[in-house]
Amino acid sequence: MEKGFSKNLVKDYTYWSIYVHENEGYLGRCVILCKREDALDLADAIPEEQYELLEILSDLRKVSKECFNPDWLNYASFSASQKE
């Protein structure tokens, strides 16, 4: 788990965890982390992880629209080796 995110846990799933980012420079900014230790590239996600990630993104989109009514949702994906 990323340092500093643990206190901001929103929800745990089977393969992923959602955290509110400490710097909410963008309203509703979240971090979705894969729980698998060797998950280094999204393109290498197993089918179950892919399916669950799409469910999570759909859930987050729905909640974001209900809470913030955004005109646009921004998705970014990157990796950093900051695991504990």
Element housing 79 (H / E): none
Residues paired with residue 19 on neighbouring β-strands, in sequence order: 9, 31
Q: State the pLDDT at residue 79.
A: 65
Residue 28 has a pLDDT of 84
Query: CB–CB of 28/8 below 8 Å?
Result: no
Map out the domains of the chain as residue ranges.
6-68
Interval 14-71: pLDDT, tens: 999 999 888 877 888 888 999 998 888 888 999 999 999 999 999 999 999 999 998 8
Q: For residue 2, what pLDDT band results from cuts at 50, 70 and 90? A: low
In this prediction, residue 5 has a pLDDT band, given cuts at 50, 70 and 90, of low
Categorise residue 11: left if φ over 0, alpha if ψ from -120 to 50, beta otherwise. beta
Q: Give the integer Cα–Cα distance in Å for 16 and 53.
A: 7
